[in-house]
């Protein structure tokens, strides 16, 4: 049987890595020759989860290898967030919880997107729908994904389904949800060894908004002021990315996981759109504190898309 | 509660009408203020099903009314097949079994596409997943949709899931699957009162293939030669559509529901692509008999898209 690769988005986060592993596991149990892959480095938060549940990271790929024809996308659908040669392969399935955009297929496929906080919540359902029991390891991975995407069930993207799934999975995984969750988030919030270049790329996603090209990078921290000690280096790297990729806006989002706020830093000709989108003024450092804003998807992309398209 | 409209594609077929009615019924039972709508005339085949199960046709709309903000699409996702002001409303759900193309949203949504033969087969599942019992009338509608899309379970798009659903639903609906199915298909195959203009529009869909704009109209019949008595009028109407819409190809597909063949008629600068796609020669009337070809989606759109994009 030909191999099907299962992978999430570039600059993988915990949901992307864990959902790729879990869905490859489910597909394998259903008789498909499926293998998980990743499009980038495993971050510290995800590594904490993999270590805790003793699961190996998926294999790294730059592009889909020539001998693989079929792929399954998890946790994303927009082609610019996917593998470079996505248009040359057949997408047989998508499991996702994002908006649908810049995506198309030639043939019918299984496309399952739900407006929940995390891909893993949908996968938890798919295990049940297919009558496959979830092991302790897989439960741990799915739980970690939900904790990550929902900032320990506090993000506005978090739904009752995510909360129920998290509690269910914590039981199977044999961990205390709050204790494990905070430990995992804090492992990811340790940015002390990151260069400015790493900070603006480790969790960056590119979006088309009207005719504008917008890149939004996000990091979690317990102390935003520490991150902004690198203000001038960050500015330099962001301007470089703007030039290299022809961006209209680069927005760097530093999210405080204890206070659930974000301090954003905007560069590019489109930075007035940030003020417009959030009714906030950028200070002399081009930064603004957005109270209660933690979700790129639900609070930032939607508001910015409105500002760029109206 | 604000009203959510549920509708299928333009030039509605039996799956589009019956799935809109059935899904509006399910959503209503789940507490959503949902109402089915249609974007065009009810054809004879669909009317046979509605009459048989004594269900009223959905309300006709030209565009989504100003006071409606949320819509649910069934049996399609491509915007050019949808309501004219689709970009001005929020799509909260899609239930479909076609390729995904020319579709996007600003926000996450529930998007459920499966590579099965009929939208109604997915709806049969959704009733079960939501623990809602299917009434005799709804079973009749869903069954009619499956019979229509699968040409009585004979189309290559028909999967085991469609077959199982059809038998299950026939029991609830209290009909003999084969007898009811043939009666319904023959009601739709009566084209005796159709003008050439009606024949090329009653089940027509437009597709983007590479840079080409292609319109494919399909009719079912028990005698293709009868339809082609109107050859010259058909040619005139097709050329008019090509001019008006700037089409590269208009393909008229006459499907024989007894022999499961199609005699196609091609007009437009792209008609050599038809020969390329099917390895068939168009005769002096620009027609060709395609043995065993009955599915626009699985056999025609895919082959033509390949020919236009390679
Ligand atoms: Mn996610
Ligand atoms: Mn259909």
**Tens-digit pLDDT profile for residues B284-294:** 999 999 999 99
Question: Which residues of chain A neighbour B110 with C-beta distances below 8 Å?
Answer: 113-115
* pLDDT tens digits along B168-193: 999 999 999 999 999 999 999 999 88
Q: Residues in chain B whose beta carbon is closer than 8 A to a beta carbon of chain A?
A: 97-115, 129, 297-298, 302, 305-306
Task: Collect all residues of chain A within an 8 Å Cβ-Cβ radius of residue B80.
Answer: none
Strand partners, B59: B37
Which residue of chain A comes nearest to B112, CA vs CA?
Answer: A112
**DSSP one-letter string for A87-111:** GGSEEEEEEE-S---S---SS--EE
- The residue among B107, B130, B310 with the most chain A CBs within 10 A of its CB, best to mutate, is B107
Q: Which residues of B touch A104 (CB under 8 A)?
A: 99-103
pLDDT of residue A298: 86
User: Which of B106, B109, B302 lies closest to A106 in CB terms?
Assistant: B302
Closest alpha carbon within chain A to B101: A104
Distance A149 CA to ligand 1 centre (A): 6
Please check the confidence at residue B280 and state whether its pLDDT lies above 90. yes
Size of the A and B interface in Cβ pairs below 8 Å: 78
Contact flag B104-A101 (C-beta cutoff 8 Å): yes
Q: Which chain A residues have a beta carbon less than 8 Å from that of B78?
A: none
pLDDT grade for B48, boundaries at 50, 70 and 90: very high
Model pLDDT, residue B274:
96
Q: Which residues are CB-neighbours of A225 under 8 A, at least 6 positions away? A: none
Residue A96 annotated as binding? no
| pLDDT at residue A243 in the model | 97
What is the residue whose two structure tokens read 């960056």? A204
What distance in angstroms lies between residue A163's CA and the mean position of ligand 1's atoms? 15
> Which contiguous run of DSSP H or E holds residue A189?
helix A177-189
Q: How many helices (H) and strands (E) does chain A have?
A: 11, 11
**Residue A186 confidence class, pLDDT cut points 50, 70, 90:** very high
Q: How far is CA B106 from the centre of its chain?
A: 26
CB pair distance less than 8 Å for A104 and B108: no
B interface mutation test: which of A93, A95, A108 has the most B CBs within 10 A? A108
Q: Percent of chain A, pLDDT > 90? A: 93
Distance between Cα B74 and ligand 2 center (Å)? 8
Residue contact B100–A103, C-beta within 8 A: yes
In chain B, whose CA is at the least distance from the CA of A114? B110
Find the CB nearest B99 among A108, A112, A113: A108
- Residue A98 alpha carbon to ligand 1 centre in Å: 8
Residue B297 confidence (pLDDT) above 90: no
Q: How far apart are CA A120 and CA A16, in angstroms?
A: 9
**Is the pLDDT at B258 greater than 90, yes or no?**
no
Task: State the nearest Cα–Cα gap between B306 and chain A, in angstroms.
Answer: 9
B91 C-beta neighbours (distance < 10 Å), count: 23
Quick: pLDDT tens for B130-141.
Answer: 999 999 999 999
* Chain A neighbors of B114, CB-CB under 8 A: 108, 110
Measured distance CA(A245)–CA(B241) in Å, rounded: 42
Residues near A280 by beta carbon (within 8 Å), at least 6 away in sequence? A274, A288, A289, A290
Separation of alpha carbons A202 and A196, rounded Å = 10
Q: Which of A94, A87, A99 is nearest to A111 (CA)?
A: A94
pLDDT tens sequence across A258-291: 889 999 999 999 999 999 999 999 999 999 999 9
* Mean residue pLDDT across chain B: 96
B120 Cα: distance to centroid of ligand 2 (angstroms): 8
Environment class of B31 (CB within 10 Å of its CB; exposed 0-12, middle 13-18, buried 19+): exposed
Residues in B closer than 8 angstroms to A103, CB to CB, are 100, 103-104
How many whole angstroms separate alpha carbon B16 and alpha carbon B29? 20
Q: What is the pLDDT of residue A222?
A: 87
Among residues B165, B173, B185, B77, the alpha carbon closest in space to that of B120 is found at B165
pTM of the complete model: 0.88
| Integer CA distances (angstroms), A298 to A94, A294, B54, in order | 20, 9, 44
Please, are residues B139 and B173 in contact by the beta-carbon 8 Å criterion?
yes
User: Chain B contacts of A101, Cβ < 8 Å?
Assistant: 104-105
User: Of B101, B108, B306, which has the smallest distance from its Cβ to A113's Cβ?
Assistant: B108
Q: From the CA of B118, how far away is ligand 2's center (Å)?
A: 5
Per-residue pLDDT at B1: 74
Closest ligand by atom to A146 CA: 1
pLDDT at B61: 97
* Smallest-distance ligand from the CA of B95: 2
Q: Which has more pLDDT, B222 or A42?
A: A42
Q: Annotated binding residue at B193?
A: no
Residues near ligand 2 ion, CB 5 Å cutoff: B 15, 75, 119, 149
Nearest residue to B22 (alpha-carbon basis) of B82, B75, B81: B75
Is residue A310 very low, low, confident or very high in pLDDT (cuts 50, 70, 90)? confident
Kindly report the nearest CA distance between residue B97 and chain A, in angstroms: 6
Token pair listed for B201 = 């529009």
**Cβ contact B113–A115 (<8 Å):** no
Look at B112 and A112 and tell me if their CB atoms are within 8 Å. Answer: yes
Q: What is the pLDDT of residues A207-259, one digit of tens each?
A: 999 999 999 999 999 889 999 999 999 999 999 999 999 999 999 999 999 88
Distance from the A95 Cα atom to the nearest Cα atom in chain B, whole angstroms:
10
Q: Which helix (H) or strand (E) holds A251?
A: strand A249-256
Q: Determine whether the interchain pair B115/A110 forms a contact, defined as Cβ–Cβ distance below 8 Å.
A: yes
- Beta-strand runs (E) in B29-119: 34-38, 59-60, 70-74, 90-96, 110-113
For residue B21, how far is its CA from the centre of ligand 2 (angstroms)?
Answer: 14
pLDDT of residue A1: 74
Rounded to the nearest angstrom, the distance between the alpha carbon of A248 and the centre of ligand 1 is: 25
Confidence bin at A92 (pLDDT 50/70/90): very high
The residue of chain A nearest to residue B107, with distances taken between CA atoms, is A99
Span A114-148, pLDDT tens digits: 999 999 999 999 999 999 999 999 999 999 999 99
Q: How far is CA B183 from CA B147, B161, B177, B190, in A?
A: 11, 23, 10, 11
């Amino acid at each position: 049987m030909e191999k099907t690769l299962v992978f999430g988005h570039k600059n993988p986060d915990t949901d992307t890595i864990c959902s790729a592993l879990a869905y490859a596991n489910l597909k394998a149990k259903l008789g498909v020759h499926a293998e998980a892959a990743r499009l980038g480095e495993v971050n510290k938060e995800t590594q904490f989860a993999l270590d805790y549940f003793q699961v190996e990271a998926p294999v790294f790929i730059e592009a889909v290898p020539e001998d693989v024809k079929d792929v399954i996308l998890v946790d994303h659908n927009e082609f610019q967030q996917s593998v470079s040669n996505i248009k040359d392969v057949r997408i047989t399935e998508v499991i996702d919880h994002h908006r649908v955009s810049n995506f198309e297929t030639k043939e019918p496929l299984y496309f399952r997107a739900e407006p929940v906080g995390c891909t893993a919540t949908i996968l938890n359902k798919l295990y049940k729908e297919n009558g496959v029991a979830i092991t302790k390891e897989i439960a741990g991975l799915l739980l970690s994904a939900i904790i990550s995407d929902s900032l320990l069930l506090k993000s506005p993207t978090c739904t009752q389904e995510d909360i129920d799934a998290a509690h269910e999975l914590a039981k199977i995984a044999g961990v205390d949800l709050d204790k494990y969750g905070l430990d995992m988030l804090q492992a990811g919030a340790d940015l002390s060894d990151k260069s400015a270049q790493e900070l603006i790329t480790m969790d960056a996603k590119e979006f088309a908004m009207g005719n504008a090209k917008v890149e939004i990078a996000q990091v979690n921290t317990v102390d935003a002021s520490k991150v902004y000690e690198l203000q001038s280096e960050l500015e330099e790297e962001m301007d470089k990315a703007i030039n290299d990729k022809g961006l209209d806006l680069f927005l760097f989002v530093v999210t405080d996981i204890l206070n659930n706020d974000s301090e954003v830093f905007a560069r590019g000709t489109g930075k007035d759109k940030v003020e417009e989108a959030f009714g906030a003024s950028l200070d002399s450092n081009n930064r603004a504190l957005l109270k209660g804003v933690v979700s790129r998807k639900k609070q930032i992309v939607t508001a910015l898309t409105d500002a760029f398209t109206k």
